[in-house]
Amino acid sequence: MSRPSRRPSQACERIGEFGAMSGDSAPSMLRPAVALPFLLVCLIWGSTWWVITGQIGDVPASWSVAWRFLMATPAMFAVALAMGRSLKLGAAGQQLAFFVGVTQFCGNYNFVYRAELHLTSGIVAVMIALLLVPNTILGRFLLNQVITRRFAVGSVIAIAGIALLLLHEAREAPVQGKVFLGVGFALIAMLCASVSNVMQANEVGQRLPMVSLLAWAMLYGTICNVVIALLTAGPPVVPSSLGYWLGTGYLALFGSVVTFPLYYTLIRQLGAGKAAYNGVAVVVIAMLFSTLLEGYRWTPVAISGALLSMVGLIVALSARRPAA
């Protein structure tokens, strides 16, 4: 008896926004169309942790987040229009954009900036790198993405490496103050980002132009950011430092407008779990920036952690999705 043919869903048939196929036929990580965006996201986001430290000194964290996305939002709309993408999302699309805006561009960033008030940027980066765990679990239950044994083994290895990097950070740069509050903020930020990452890759999100979805999501997130800033920090704080605004511009344009379309496309191409592995590479890159700009000192523990993280990355990315 022959098996009835199954027509792929519209989401699986859809060609990704930046030219690679989404769905179960995930492209190889070695393809330039995947590898180059992956590396670019890693390099830029690896630098943003250090830049953020200059945004939360004299300016309340809430207003720094608000300024960042007040700058990024019109730029993202401009990108969508320049690419000829429709800004019409429909009711379901607007609901998804609102959800992504509140979780990713408001919740995640407000808690990240607050976490860096109590923890060093390296520790926060390490904790956010654990995003791969909830991404993979949520992707399994919400998007039916398969977790292979090789991917699980790679995850364990990478988490062990991240733990060593975290141990090194704790030893070399002991943090004074409300450490557990900072850890809590970082964990909440990680969960906000994970839920957003997985939900935007659902069937509704797959049908929408990526940059248009992100533009509306940033708009909703910006509105939430401004409201939170007004409620928690009072009237707008406008710094006069040129360095502050250069940092804000870098975070807004490169750290948001350039990277998020690339990263969310990687989620659709590779799955939420594999895409989150950029966080492992970001941690190592962030440590390199700290070495060059902050005098970060590499020890055997830190070197071991970095090597384990990269081994885990290679093992996990070598896993192939089973055929459906």
Tell me what pLDDT residue 176 has: 56
- 313 lies in a domain? yes
Tell me what pLDDT residue 23 has: 40
Q: How many CB atoms lie within 10 A of CB 245?
A: 14
Indicate the Cα dihedral angle 88, 266, 278, 37, nearest 10°. Answer: -90
**Residue positions counted in the chain:** 324
- The phi, psi pair for 206, rounded to 5°, reads -65, -30
Tell me what pLDDT residue 18 has: 32
- 14 lies in a domain? no
Q: How far apart are CA 293 and CA 270, in angstroms?
A: 33
- 123 lies in a domain? yes
- 92 lies in a domain? yes
**Structure-block tokens of residue 252:** 């807004």
Q: How far apart are CA 297 and CA 305, in angstroms?
A: 14
At 172, which helix (H) or strand (E)?
helix 149-172
- 49 lies in a domain? yes
What pTM was computed for the model?
0.79
Q: How is 189-257 classified by DSSP, letter by letter? A: HHHHHHHHHHHTTSHHHHHS-HHHHHHHHHHHHHHHHHHHHHHHH-S------HHHHHHHHIIIIIIII
CA angle 56, 58, 63 (to 5 degrees): 60
- 7 lies in a domain? no
- 4 lies in a domain? no
- 20 lies in a domain? no
Three-state SS at 175: coil
Tell me what pLDDT residue 19 has: 33
Three-state SS at 124: helix
pLDDT beneath 70, residues of the chain: 1-30, 143, 172-177, 272-274, 276, 317, 319-324
Tell me what pLDDT residue 270 has: 76
Tell me what pLDDT residue 317 has: 65
Q: Which structural domain, as residue segments, surrounds residue 142? A: 27-317
Structural domain count of the chain: 1
